[in-house]
A and B are shown apart, each in its own frame.
Chain A
Amino acid sequence: MFHKDSASDATFRKQVRSWFEANLPRELRGRTVRPPPADLMVWYKLLSERGWIAPHWPKEHGGMGATLSEQIIIAQELGRLSAPHLPLQGVNHLGPILMRYGTHEQKQRHLPPILRGDVIWAQGYSEPGSGSDLASLTTKAELIDEHFLVNGTKVWQTWAHHADWMFTLVRTDPEAKPKHAGISFLLIDLRTKGVKTKPILNIAGDDEFSQVLLDDVVVTKENLIGPLNGGWKVANDLLANERLFTSSPQHALEVVHRITRLANANGRDGDPVFRDKLAALRIRIIAQEALFWQAAGLIANGRPLGPASSTMKLIATSNLQAATDLLIDVADTHGADVGRQSVGDDDVDITRIFLQSRRATIYGGSSEIQRNVLARRVLGLPS
């Protein structure tokens, strides 16, 4: 809408589209719920062999070295086929952190298995007592000679029960003030003695996330990333690209496609009340697209996103939830049905999509935390 592909980007898009259409397994398209990692690794490995699993990684680390517009094209084309979300914690979170803060040995050891899909990573930040107030985390890592002794509980790890390793934040200085100055960034092999993972059933009935219990877990010192007690900065130094992609209009638009298919199938597309709601939603998503392309322009010019990422997250998540509201609305009396409904060529489990979208305004800094950030950093309101 607010962007036209350059000639070379248009060629690239064609190439990506035809390759995705030919290679993305049909049973993985348009799924309501992401299948467990085992079912997804076929697609992960296909992308890996093609050299497209890590578009934003530089070539020297085995990535694609794609320009920002090429990265956006890949994301759009995946969205176009409703490709499933892959376990990309390693590619999207840990990889860039290692490139920035890892030693040569750490990079050598961990980056290639991420690219190949040989190791699945989980992110271990939250704890039962530390959610929005993450800096209060208490999972203790005592440095004893050449290893850490780790004790505590991590929670809400996506797919930790399917993962091989976890990158995590641990308390290495209990006396530190402020609290975030006593936190370190540690990698833990989930097969180590004393580690237990327990899946948690979420509100949508999926066991996507889990709890990780750490009981006298011995972690060698080579697994510390960045300086001791310097983990807060390591974890929070997210790339602008990553903040951009989490706020992509694609997520809400995918739901709008499903709403439209459903409305076409059940006749609601002629209902003026529905049409007004759909138009309102689509206009909100157009405004989000405008923000997205402006932010992409900033990043492409090497400028930081800053607090704009909070603005974008607020808008993106409220649009996603407005879209899932309309999805159950359009289904009318079927708006509380469990299980899939066949709509044309789509199998939709609408209540699951609706329930899944509840997390959007909670994780990665809840909407309330984003508002706190904007109140202080942009409006300069007092505390």
Chain B
Amino acid sequence: MDLLLSPEQELLQASASKLLAEQGGVKRMRHLRRKSAGFERNVHEKMALAGWFGVLVPPEQGGLGLGLTELALLLMETGRGLAPEPVAPAAIAAYALSNGESSAASSNLLEKVVSGEMIVSLAIEGDGSELDNTRASLAAVFSSGRIVLDGTRAGVPLASASDGFIVAAWSNDDPVLCYVSKSAIGLTVDEHETVDGRSYGTLTFRAVSADHLIAAPAHAAPVVQALYDMMLIATAAELVGVMTAALDLTVEYLKIRKQFGKPIGSFQALQHRAVDNLVQVISTRTLLFQICDQGIVPSSEMASALKAYAAGEALALTKSAIQMHGAIGFTDEHDVGLYLKRAMWLAAYLGNESAHRKRFDRLSQFEPVELRQDH
């Protein structure tokens, strides 16, 4: 509505929206709910062909060389259409591979992720929600040229359907980033169903040899940090898409549903509720875009502020959307419930509102100004 998007960015968003609509939109997602793969490889490949997974990768490495705003636009459409393909993990895994140490293995893998040939997910979350809590949960030991992993990684989206994982582990006090294929010996995947009809996995590593190193302990810390913060931004972008769609559905319904001989959207109680939801969409989206505009690597403080804000506002909005739909909103048949459930998962993923408020508080400094200086 009030965005300052460039014509190129508007075009990117429009073409993403068109691509997902052509694949069947929300109806497609409804059919894929609670199915084992949970998404469609052929759609994933179409996204790859449109350049989605190389959005943050420089052109000389086969990507589009764009920024977080463009990634956010793609993810807003992903959220709006409830597309189940792992867009954010793929695009951010590609970013990790293009920013790690250059090796033949990494560039080979990068090419396959960008082309959609391989599905690579991110395994950077510990048992707790904060990245910093992961220290104890997955240890990496360097032994005769190999990296041996022991421990767990939680919250890995679409783990069973992935070909491999970008894994963050700890070598003593330093993080290390490596790639592990799903077929690695000693790796087990426990799948958990989530309320939105999808799943995530918990990975258990028992003396697993990593396939190859992406970033060594000396260099990995900023990359791991960036991956986590980018995933927070990406999750918030998808939440903005979910919010937009839920509000659109609701406003449409308020105009056509009649009670007491009038469209229910003429009642001030519902108008004001809908406006409060509109304000939530506008403010969350604006915060998202302003943060994306700060550069490709977001500040951790701002990433947590955004995740906390988006999680809270999206849950409030989607609950309100159910309320305004009345009984039909309480059915499985109506799409509005799908948005609430998706918001629930995205809000919880990588740390919820409370967790990120806490992380924001820990990371940010707020010093009151001195009032009466002498000069």
CB-based contact B278/A378 at 8 Å: yes
A371 to B371 Cα, complex, angstroms:
37
* Least CB distance, B24 to chain A, in whole angstroms: 28
A264 to B2 Cα, complex, angstroms:
39
* Least CB distance, A274 to chain B, in whole angstroms: 10
Interface residues in A302-324 by Cβ distance below 8 A to B read 308, 311, 314-315
Q: Does B274 count as interface, using CB distance less than 8 angstroms? A: yes
CB-based contact B286/A371 at 8 Å: no
Q: Does B357 count as interface, using CB distance less than 8 angstroms? A: yes
Which residues from chain A contact B327 at a C-beta distance below 8 Å? none
Contact A374 B265, CB 8 Å, known A81-B371, A257-B368: no
CB-based contact A345/B370 at 8 Å: yes
Interface string of B1-14 (1 = CB under 8 A from A): 11110000000000
CB-based contact B263/A257 at 8 Å: no
> Which of B266, B354, B372 is A30 in contact with, Cβ under 8 Å?
B372
Q: Does A279 count as interface, using CB distance less than 8 angstroms? A: yes
A68 to B271 Cα, complex, angstroms:
34
Interface residues in B287-316 by Cβ distance below 8 A to A read 287, 289-291, 293-294, 302, 305, 308-309
* Least CB distance, A235 to chain B, in whole angstroms: 24
Which chain B residue shows the least CB distance to A254?
B369
* Least CB distance, A93 to chain B, in whole angstroms: 25
CB-based contact A264/B275 at 8 Å: no
Q: Does A80 count as interface, using CB distance less than 8 angstroms? A: yes
Which residues from chain A contact B278 at a C-beta distance below 8 Å? 311, 374, 378-379
Interface string of B338-375 (1 = CB under 8 A from A): 00000000000000001001101100101111111101
A332 to B291 Cα, complex, angstroms:
35
Contact A381 B371, CB 8 Å, known A279-B358, A279-B361, A297-B4: no
Contact A371 B4, CB 8 Å, known A280-B357, A346-B371: no
* Stretch from A59-67, A99-107, A197-205, A285-293 contacting the other chain: A285-293
Which chain A residue shows the least CB distance to B359?
A279
Interface string of A341-382 (1 = CB under 8 A from B): 000011000000000000000000000100110110011111
Q: Which of A26, A276, A346, A381 has the most CB of B within 10 A?
A: A381
Interface string of B218-233 (1 = CB under 8 A from A): 0000000000000000
Interface residue total, chain A, C-beta cutoff 8 A: 54
Q: Does B272 count as interface, using CB distance less than 8 angstroms? A: yes
> Which of B4, B290, B366, B371 is A282 in contact with, Cβ under 8 Å?
B366
Q: Which of B286, B287, B375 has the most CB of A within 10 A?
A: B286
CB-based contact A371/B275 at 8 Å: yes
CB-based contact B309/A283 at 8 Å: yes
Which residues from chain A contact B185 at a C-beta distance below 8 Å? none
Which residues from chain B contact A297 at a C-beta distance below 8 Å? 4
Which residues from chain A contact B302 at a C-beta distance below 8 Å? 1, 286
Which chain A residue shows the least CB distance to B367?
A260
A18 to B370 Cα, complex, angstroms:
14
Q: Is the interface of A mostly helix, strand, loop or mixed?
A: helix
Interface string of B257-293 (1 = CB under 8 A from A): 0000011011010011011101100111011011101
Which residues from chain A contact B31 at a C-beta distance below 8 Å? none
Q: Does A298 count as interface, using CB distance less than 8 angstroms? A: yes
> Which of B272, B286, B371 is A294 in contact with, Cβ under 8 Å?
B286
Q: Does B96 count as interface, using CB distance less than 8 angstroms? A: no
Which chain B residue shows the least CB distance to A381?
B265
Q: Does B110 count as interface, using CB distance less than 8 angstroms? A: no
Which residues from chain A contact B166 at a C-beta distance below 8 Å? none
Which bracket fits the contact residues of B? Answer: 35 or more
Q: Does B240 count as interface, using CB distance less than 8 angstroms? A: no
A41 to B285 Cα, complex, angstroms:
43
Q: Does A73 count as interface, using CB distance less than 8 angstroms? A: no
CB-based contact A287/B284 at 8 Å: yes
CB-based contact B251/A381 at 8 Å: yes
* Least CB distance, B320 to chain A, in whole angstroms: 13
Interface residues in B104-147 by Cβ distance below 8 A to A read none
Which residues from chain B contact A368 at a C-beta distance below 8 Å? 272
CB-based contact B305/A283 at 8 Å: yes
Which residues from chain B contact A258 at a C-beta distance below 8 Å? 368
Which residues from chain A contact B291 at a C-beta distance below 8 Å? 2, 290
Q: Does A220 count as interface, using CB distance less than 8 angstroms? A: no
Q: Which of A297, A301, A371 has the most CB of B within 10 A?
A: A371
A22 to B375 Cα, complex, angstroms:
7
> Which of A29, A283, A291, A375 is B371 in contact with, Cβ under 8 Å?
A29
Which residues from chain A contact B354 at a C-beta distance below 8 Å? 276
> Which of A260, A290, A311, A372 is B279 in contact with, Cβ under 8 Å?
A311
Q: Does B214 count as interface, using CB distance less than 8 angstroms? A: no
CB-based contact A379/B2 at 8 Å: no
Which residues from chain B contact A251 at a C-beta distance below 8 Å? none
Interface residues in A257-272 by Cβ distance below 8 A to B read 257-258, 260-261, 264
Contact A379 B251, CB 8 Å, known A260-B366, A279-B358: yes
Which residues from chain A contact B208 at a C-beta distance below 8 Å? none
> Which of B275, B289, B360 is A374 in contact with, Cβ under 8 Å?
B275
Contact A284 B372, CB 8 Å, known A2-B290, A371-B271, A381-B255: no
A244 to B354 Cα, complex, angstroms:
31
* Least CB distance, B347 to chain A, in whole angstroms: 15
Which residues from chain A contact B274 at a C-beta distance below 8 Å? 375, 379, 381
* Least CB distance, A32 to chain B, in whole angstroms: 12
Q: Does B254 count as interface, using CB distance less than 8 angstroms? A: yes
Which residues from chain A contact B286 at a C-beta distance below 8 Å? 287, 290-291, 294
Contact A257 B305, CB 8 Å, known A291-B282, A294-B4: no
CB-based contact B368/A287 at 8 Å: no
A287 to B236 Cα, complex, angstroms:
13
Q: Does A69 count as interface, using CB distance less than 8 angstroms? A: no
A291 to B278 Cα, complex, angstroms:
14
Q: Does A82 count as interface, using CB distance less than 8 angstroms? A: yes
Contact A287 B283, CB 8 Å, known A282-B366, A294-B4: yes
Contact A315 B290, CB 8 Å, known A260-B366, A279-B360, A283-B308: no
- 11 A-B pairs in the complex with CB atoms less than 8 angstroms apart: A26-B372, A80-B369, A264-B368, A275-B361, A276-B358, A282-B305, A283-B360, A286-B305, A298-B2, A381-B254, A382-B265
**A residues lining the B interface (CB < 8 Å):** 1-2, 18, 21-22, 26, 29-30, 80-82, 256-258, 260-261, 264, 275-276, 278-280, 282-284, 286-291, 293-295, 297-298, 301, 308, 311, 314-315, 345-346, 368, 371-372, 374-375, 378-383
| Top 6 A-B residue pairs of the complex, sorted by shortest distance between their CB atoms | A375-B271, A290-B290, A279-B361, A381-B265, A257-B368, A30-B371
Given contacts A283-B308, A294-B2, 20 further A-B pairs with CB under 8 A are: A26-B372, A256-B366, A258-B368, A260-B368, A276-B354, A280-B308, A283-B309, A287-B284, A288-B283, A290-B287, A290-B291, A291-B286, A297-B4, A301-B4, A308-B2, A371-B271, A372-B271, A378-B278, A381-B255, A382-B262
